[in-house]
Amino acid sequence: MMTALTGFDPAPLPCSREAEARTADVYARIKDVIPAMEWPLHAPEIDAIRDLKRARNAVVLAHNYQTPEIFHGVADIRGDSLALARQAVESDAEVLVVAGVHFMAETAKLVNPDRTVLIPDPHAGCSLAESITPEDVVALRAAHPGVPVVTYVNTSAAVKAECDICCTSGNAVRIVESLGVPRVIFIPDMFLAKHVARNTDVEIIPWHGACEVHERFTGDEIRTFRSRFPSLSVVAHPECPPDVLDAADHVGSTAQMIDYVRRERPERVFLVTECSMSDNVAAELPEVTFVKPCALCPHMKRITLPRIRHALETLSPRVELDPEIALRARAPVERMLAVT
Ligand code: 13P
Ligand code: SF4
């Protein structure tokens, strides 16, 4: 449940030489991935957001799929869904601005019920979260009595409220095995469910959701890139179809994918996931070449610098949860955090 949005879309701030000078440190970090002619548009926004964060005692949590000017320019906490959930609890800021999609902001609110949690655009959804309702979970439980429900964190708080434990792409196998049961219902991503099923003896009863970005990758695409670049490393997110994961050298959450590139330093790599992440890692590792077919998540891209600034100026839109749903949805998230 969100508060209403007013005054949207915010007008961008005018270009300013002073703001460019004050943010020169940021541009030095991302100059390889943001053209110089674009920088005058970002600099005043980054400059204003830095001031607003101090004034509001706020931090910006940015998912790995945010664009480099957000990820490297204004984020205080960066990472995959698990890292954002965990670090949201650890921060002592009064205001948390989630530069990510709606379920991530809800998760931050669930574990920080007394803090102000803002999402710069509340319409930043997720095809996985939209693929299942609380009523669907109730029906699944009725069809499989006594079988626990593991939900990927990419679901609404109302769906989490009907589940036993959450997981992320980084800990799914471990969470499923932590239950010590022979069968689990695993919602909502059918490809992540398949990936988990291949890596555990626990029987997995899946739902039929899919990520609209990752479901489009194909094994043939990977093979085509490999024939063009024989030394290519391929690192895939487990939301991809099984033939893509079969063709990859390594599979993991977005944070695990980044760790792999930092560790292995491949000469050329294809991160089979949302493509802003390659820009963010390229800014850090200029010696690695990224093969990067465009695969943007339209929901993640709803978050922009002007919308982050507007959220900090107005302390809205806020994430507000129904207290009864929040109470029940918090338990599966906290169980996950306790296991991991
Ligand atoms: P991660 O938890 O791996 O960051 O994945 C979140 C997500 O939405 C992937 O599409
Ligand atoms: Fe959801 Fe896919 Fe976008 Fe991730 S990339 S937020 S799973 S639609």
Q: What is the pLDDT of residues 145-184, one digit of tens each?
A: 999 999 999 999 999 999 999 999 999 999 999 999 999 9
Ligand 2 lined by 240 (C-beta under 6 Å): no
Predicted local confidence at residue 259, as pLDDT = 97
Residue range 279-315, pLDDT digits in tens: 999 999 999 999 988 899 999 999 999 999 999 999 9
d(CA 29, CA 46): 14
Of 193, 209, 225, the residue at which a domain comes to its end is: 209
pLDDT at 317 over 90: yes
Query: What one-character DSSP code corresponds to residue 292?
Result: -
Ligand 1 atom nearest residue 211's Cα: 10
CA distance 237 to 256: 9
Do the domain assignments include residue 246? yes
- Residue 323 backbone dihedrals phi, psi, to 5 degrees: -60, -35
Q: What is the mean pLDDT of residues 228-256?
A: 97
Same domain, 283 and 226: yes
Backbone angles phi, psi at 219, to 5 degrees: -60, -35
pLDDT for the residue numbered 1: 41
- Asked if residue 331 belongs to a domain, the reply is no
Provide the CATH number for the domain around residue 187.
Answer: 3.40.50.10800
The count of domains in the chain is: 3
Identify the burial level of 87 via C-beta atoms within 10 angstroms of its C-beta, where 0-12 means exposed, 13-18 middle and 19 or more buried.
Answer: middle
The verdict on whether residue 126 carries a ligand-binding annotation is yes
Residue 334 domain-assigned? no
In this structure, are residues 252 and 215 in contact, taking their beta carbons and an 8 Å threshold?
Answer: no
Task: Tell me if 321 is assigned to some domain.
Answer: no
- Bridge partners (DSSP) listed for residue 206: 186
Q: Is 208 annotated among the ligand-binding residues? A: no
Is 316 annotated among the ligand-binding residues?
Answer: no
Compute φ and ψ for 291, nearest 5 degrees.
-85, 125
154 lines ligand 2 (CB under 6 A): yes
**295 pocket-lining for ligand 2 (C-beta < 6 Å):** no
Give the C-alpha separation, 213 to 219, whole Å. Answer: 15
The share of the chain scoring above pLDDT 90, in percent, equals 93
294 has binding-site annotation? no
pLDDT bucket at 2, cuts 50 / 70 / 90: very low
- Indicate whether 22 and 103 sit together in one domain: yes
pLDDT bracket for residue 4 (50, 70, 90): very low
Structural domain contains residue 147? yes
The verdict on the CB of residue 277 being under 6 Å from ligand 2 is: no
Please tell me if the CB atom of residue 253 comes closer than 6 angstroms to any atom of ligand 1: yes
User: 75: domain range?
Assistant: 17-125+299-314
Mean pLDDT of the chain: 95
Strands (E), the chain: 58-63, 77-79, 95-99, 116-118, 149-152, 165-167, 183-187, 203-206, 233-236, 250-251, 268-272, 289-291
- For residues 274 and 287, state if they share a domain: yes
Q: Can you tell me the mean pLDDT for 251-269?
A: 97
Judgement on whether residues 192 and 227 belong to the same structural domain of the protein:
no
Per-residue pLDDT tens over the stretch 6-43: 446 899 999 999 999 999 999 999 999 999 999 999 99
Regarding whether 41 and 119 lie in a shared domain, the answer is yes
